[in-house]
Amino acid sequence: MAAAIHHHHLLPPRLLSCRSEEELLEIQGTQLLSTTMGVKEYVQSEFESVEAEIISENKELFPGTVTFDDFLWAFGILRSRVFAELRGDKLALIPFADLVNHSDDIASKESSWEIKGKGLFGRDVVFSLRTPVNVKSGEQYDLDKSNAELALDYGFTESNSSRDAYTLTLEISESDPFYDDKLDIAELNGMGETAYFDIVLGESLPPQMLPYLRLLCLGGTDAFLLEALFRNAVWGHLELPVSQDNEEAICQVIRNACKSALGAYHTTIEEDEELLGSENLQPRLQIAVEVRAGEKKVLQQIDDIFKQREEELDGLEYYQERRLKDIGLVGDNGEIIFWES
């Protein structure tokens, strides 16, 4: 199995095209950098297709030269101003709608907009902005995004710990001897070969993360849980510690992933904090430092959680103990119950 990092958001070209080598160094090791490079490759590929299939074939419509930077600018304008779900035929820029500001004082998971019919019998549709929470006149609405997402989509960050997040990627390895069984169990429980877990600073781990981790590390004498007999009940067993070996393995996998990720940055959290405390920090450098510092804090939090878990392994109750209790062979205090003669 593997643990890694991914983000699935797009970076406006004002952050993509203008970054120098020095600026890219400032986000070395971050999810922001890997996504930046991935998106740039994607946009380059799209531009080459558009240039070959549309621009070159319709020169009368494009009398001037359309460069990659032009295309990158247009891509970013569209990405940073359209609303989620307005894709394909529904893709549209809404005049004035992108002028709505946001504030982290007002937050909601619900959508703040809708498209609906105009009038009782009208066939026209209107785009309607509404607030899902009570607001006062002049207040601004929150964007439910991490600092990395804000930097990717809009080119700014906020000094707020709830904005610090890290996406942990877990994957069932194709070389795992139990690959087919594990994939089947994952799919039965709404997951797949790869799972992404967004971890926010100061918040608990996503509820599905530990069961998925235990499934990935399952093997040895615990492999009996993968048999068809347990297929419909195995996820319930994975929600609790399976065995000390399995629990120790998940700690090692995650702690090694955290150590590897933290080692890829070129600064420490302390150095980042010192930079953020300095005056006259350039805006682009501040974005880089806030994102990488936030990522590192979350990685450190994850490592601390599993370090503490390693120290508690001897005191946890595992599957075999629970099973013996269920069939009445072990008392509540762990004593073995002998049959009366």
CA angle in degrees (0–180, nearest 5) for 189-194-196: 90
CA 218/CA 212 separation, integer angstroms? 10
- CA nearest neighbour of 213 among 246, 258, 243: 246
In sequence order, the 6+-apart residues with CB closer than 8 A to the CB of 84 are: none
Radius of gyration (Cα) for the chain, nearest Å? 25
Phi, psi of 218 (to 5 degrees): -65, 135
**Count of CB atoms situated within 10 Å of the CB of 72:** 23
Task: Give the integer Cα–Cα distance in Å for 191 and 255.
Answer: 23
Q: Is 114 helix (H, G, I), strand (E, B) or coil?
A: strand
141 is a catalytic site residue: yes
Closest-CA residue to 200 (of 154, 167, 153, 151): 167
Catalytic residue selected from 141, 166, 212, 265: 141
Q: Give the CA distances from residue 33 to residues 36, 266, 295, in Å, rounded to whole numbers and listed in that order.
A: 5, 13, 12
DSSP string, 146-204: -HHHHHHHHS---S-GGG-EEEEEEE--TT-TTHHHHHHHHHHTT--SEEEEEEETTSP
Alpha helices in 225-316 (DSSP H): 234-238, 244-263, 269-276, 283-311
Q: How far apart are CA 49 and CA 112, in angstroms?
A: 35
Give catalytic residues, as residue numbers.
141
